[in-house]
Amino acid sequence: MSVRTARAVRLVIRTFSELCVTVGTVIVLFVVHVLFWTGIEADRAMKGEIDRLQEQWSAAPATDAKPAEGDDGAPVPAQRPYEDGEPFAVMHIPRFGSGWAKPVLEGTATGTLKKGLGHYARTARLGERGNFAVAGHRRTYGDPFKDVPELRPGDAVVLNDGTTWFTYRVDRKPYRTLPNDTAVIDPVPDKGPYRGPGRYLTLTTCEPEWGHSHRLIVWAHLDSTRPVDQGKPDALRS
């Protein structure tokens, strides 16, 4: 091999090695961003949304009005209109830990789900007759629904809209389906455990944990309501 050829070979090897190092560095930085930085940003954003709600609720005038009753005789607490991209409630799931609390915002746009959980706009409002459906990331952006597979029948999902605590109870283990299976958030969810109208809650998230080829679905029914001035519900006291 001539000196010129040897130099050319060394140049190619050195260039290829430097390219590999650069690509490896970019991949590592991307993984750090996805795994850690989006989580930091999301945690900060979710705390900010909860703080906003707490301020709004503290400033809201007290009312002695009794809640209206739905056509099934159950109380339906009055609620302000939901505004796209704005928070209106905080969700607590005791199974995920005593400190687990996430804001629920109106809509499921990409930007909205970076700040908390998103309410499917075409579904029922909180506590109302129908299906109150909520989406959340399984991984990245704070991993809010990372532990959804751990939910079991009887587990509580508790929401607070500033005036009322709503306690839902999970009715079956998470159900796996395809992303285009939108019937799972129908007023009476298709393939769910219900056979007639009621006050339901549906949680949706991605499956598998680091993919999005399928969805995990959790269904629950409204078990009880409690005015916030009467203190936290039993599900949050243990």
The active-site residue out of 119, 125, 139, 206 is: 206
The active-site residue out of 125, 129, 138, 215 is: 215
Mean of the pLDDT values across residues 89-112?
97
Q: Are 152 and 170 in contact (CB under 8 A)?
A: yes
pLDDT digits (tens, 9 = 90+) for 14-45: 655 555 444 444 343 344 444 555 667 889 99
pLDDT digits (tens, 9 = 90+) for 155-171: 999 999 999 999 999 99
Mean of the pLDDT values across residues 60-70?
53
Look at residues 87, 95, 98 and name the one whose alpha carbon lies nearest to residue 134. Answer: 87
pLDDT tops 70 at residue 2:
no
Structure-model confidence comparison of residues 32 and 54, the more confident one: 54
Instruction: pLDDT band for 202, please (50, 70, 90 cuts).
Output: very high
User: Of the ranges 4-18, 71-85, 101-115, which one carries the lowest mean pLDDT score?
Assistant: 4-18
Domain ranges of the chain: 38-236
Is 206 designated active site?
yes
Is 212 designated active site?
no
User: Of the ranges 63-72, 116-125, 159-168, 221-230, which one carries the lowest mean pLDDT score?
Assistant: 63-72
Query: Cα-flanking dihedrals φ and ψ of residue 136, to 5°?
Result: -160, 155
pLDDT for 40: 79
Q: Are 201 and 157 in contact (CB under 8 A)?
A: yes
The pTM for the full model equals 0.81
Report d(CA 119, CA 203) in Å as an integer: 9
pLDDT tops 90 at residue 150:
yes
The active-site residue out of 119, 137, 139, 199 is: 137
> CB-based contacts of 90: which residues, under 8 Å, 6+ apart?
50, 53, 101, 102, 103, 104, 159, 160
Does 208 sit behind a cis peptide bond, omega within 30 degrees of 0 on the bond before it?
Answer: yes
Dihedral of alpha carbons 143, 145, 147, 149, sign: negative
Is 20 designated active site?
no
**Second CATH level (architecture) for the domain 38-236:** Beta Barrel (2.40)
